[in-house]
Structure 1
Amino acid sequence: MEPYTNAETAQDEYVTRHAGKPTQRPRRHPTVWGTGQAGPISAFNLEEYERNGFLTLDQLLTSDEVLLCREELRRMNLDTHLRNSSRVVLEPDSNEIRSVFEVHRISEVLSSIIYSSKVTDHARQVLGSEVYIHQSRINFKPGFGGAEFHWHSDFETWHAEDGMPAPRALSMSIALTDNIPGNGPLMIIPGSHKTFVSCPGETPSDYHESSLRDKRPAVGSADHACVTELAGKHGIQQIEGKAGSAVLFDCNCLHASGSNMSPYPRSNVFVVFNSVENKLVEPFYAPKPRPEYVASREFTPATTSPR
């Protein structure tokens, strides 16, 4: 397999999936592309996002919206047809559902949340343009064994395997259950978004089939020494919050979450917005693009629901 499939890799600022040791290089592109006057985020909080790479929102959804979403999760969990589809990823150590992808296309309830202005306006403001949905999913993280997600940068994967040219994308994780210390909440290294950490090793063909389920994917996980160094500089923040809260975070943040050994699930809606000015090209370091349900190549602005 040719390790590099994109003709632009010779000038690539974010080289990864290479031989040798992982490298760190400063990020050149901005974190915030918009202004404090262009959306729901205050200038003060926009500066916080630029500095730390993430911003917490205490109450994005109403209690009624949370209840509707939870009922939708229960329905999806019992849908045998959905369970047998390629959109569903199972837990590594059980047959419980770990994630369901492309939920903005298969769920009217979740689509109405994802396409609401209170969600999309945050993304437009930060990215300074119209945005489209690169990926959406539900993470179930069931109690008594929902597996961890190892330290990684989403942009490293999206650049290598999806062909995302620049780190002009962000994720919003909306809590549908309380995020507490015992149920494996999100952890972020503040400020890590300003350093691109490369990952050695070639991307295998159809790598998504194993990497989305593995606790620590063999390729694309951040090196322990790099994580230790950046955590030593910036610390680690654990994101806790009530159901209905959310966290907005830059695509290049190093983040992870521990396993859930509590009785309480940690379920969230996870949606990725990419700028329409940062459309995917051919993968930089993979033999072919990942499937549409994992990385959309439909670049229609997220102004109205497709359902």
Structure 2
Amino acid sequence: MDSRNKSSDTDFILLGLFPGMNHVTLLVSAILLIYTVALTANSALILLIWVDSHLHTPMYFLLSQLALMDLTLISSTVPKMAADFFLGQRNISRVACAAQIFFFLTLGIAECILITFMSYDRYVAICNPLRYALLMSQRVCLQMAAVSWAGGAFLSLAHTAYAMHFPICGSTEISHFLCEVMAILKLACEDISAYEKAVVATSIVVLLIPLSLILTSYVLIFLAVLRMNSPEGRNKALATCSSHLAVVSLYFGPAMLVYMRPSSYHSPKLDQVLFLLGAILTPMMNPLIYSLRNKEVVGALKKALGCCPTSL
């Protein structure tokens, strides 16, 4: 009983990026560069969508929510990781660890839900354009954003509270650069098999079911695109959908490998690589993919940059 009480007050120790690896300074510097690009690109995308009236459409509203989630997601991990590395401080309190888990899971799950809604938006726009204004009204878009954020927060709160209630009787060293559910569970001194099943069940709900809905939407979209008579319309539809599918693969791939593998197949190095891809690289890539492959966003950016000199 004493050991449980003691473990509930003990700080965790984050071992950081690939302990024992040479040239970690270069890796951290590269991550800070990625963070800067992600911060700039997502902020610029949100600002463009907000100020340009041509981008006040359901698709771009949902895209601005995705950019906001990406911005918050990468900010929940990189500053702490960089500060720990350069200051040599590896301790993190249980409260701070729980907060990081909560925000990370909230944003990850919310992105998954939002990306599913974005695929529905493209399905309606291409397969049912006459009812688009009704099915994707401003009220519906706000509800989609609210469901994404609230759904992510609800599921994250349940998992965070349950994962953090396990007592830590031995080492408090986390083989990761952030507090993460699966890494915390490895330190628990109780049987966690039931909770691992709950993690798999949640993964099916927030990963496999949305992915199946997304793939179904795009099968219907591609069938509709093939029936289009206008080559210009076909190319525009394919360009928009290919950008979204690229984002889908960037997010769902690493997430499924992290949370849908048996615990016996988890290794600290592989998990860190997957988190670097999903939690750091993807938030940088998302706005670049949507911006560079989208003529409307590029046009809005050129317009904004062209107006800057005249406004000074």
TM-score, length of structure 2 as denominator length: 0.28
TM-score, length of structure 1 as denominator length: 0.28
Which of the two has higher C-alpha Rg?
2
Question: Which of the pair is proportionally richer in helix?
Answer: 2
